[in-house]
Amino acid sequence: MTTPTILLIDDDPTLLELLSSHLQTAGYRPLTARDGASGLKLVEESAPDLVVLDVMMPNMNGWEVCERLRQRSHLPIIMLTAKGEEIDKLRGFRLGVDDYVTKPFSFAELVARVGAVLSRAAHSPLPTHTLTSDDLTIDFEQRRVMVKEHLIELTPTEYRLIETLARHANRTVPTEMLLTEVWGHDYVGEVEQVKHYIWTLRKKIENDPGDPKHLITERGFGYRLE
């Protein structure tokens, strides 16, 4: 089996060294770049499986690097940010970020996130079409959800959840399957996690969240997108 290559782009050499060591111990092949331009060059030269990208860098910040990456590929991206504000996450989500880790973080947490994102990428081929159901439209290529032609701002997890349900549209998806595909194997059994995000999605896309027409609960089994 090929060893996944992880490209780390950060201007902190100490962080790069420590994180590289942890990734190597976990069975990955780390590559490092200390600025955005070098990182983009390494993407072209080495074709990594995932990029871990810091937001705050001189000359070319993480947002710009992310935007340039998305112009050329759907390579999985995890952003490192010192800010936990929702507006930053929404900005990154619109650029196609797959996950976030807020500084300070544990190396074990980041390594686990890397594994979860790689797993989702391996088992979730990117749809290239648009799904429309009444007033709801999901544009998989642009990673956008619209209701009555109004863009709905979703968090990365909310989008991954509705995308997973949409790939199985009109079929009930077991709760444990959603946990594995959206959150990763470490979350198996945490059904409240799914319930919470289904509710937040309903508040954003349903006319009446208490009487949903799109996100349907199949009690004791899972959820269905209609």
Strand, helix or coil for residue 50: strand
Each residue of 147-189: pLDDT tens digit?
Answer: 998 999 888 888 889 988 988 888 888 888 888 778 876 666 6
Q: What's the pLDDT at 74?
A: 75
Amino acid, res. 214: H
pLDDT one-digit tens code per residue, 211-221 = 999 999 988 88
What is the pTM assigned to this prediction? 0.60
Cβ contact 121:110 at 8 Å:
no
Residue 66 near residue 22 (C-beta atoms within 8 A) = no
CA distances from 1 to 49, 62, 209 (A): 14, 31, 45
Q: Which residues contact 138 (CB under 8 A, 6 or more apart)?
A: 130, 131, 132, 144, 145, 146, 162, 163, 166
- Running DSSP on this structure, what letter comes out for residue 225? E
Q: What SS3 state is found at 32? A: strand
Residue 151 CA to residue 2 CA, distance in Å, equals 39
Per-residue pLDDT for 55 more than 60?
Answer: yes
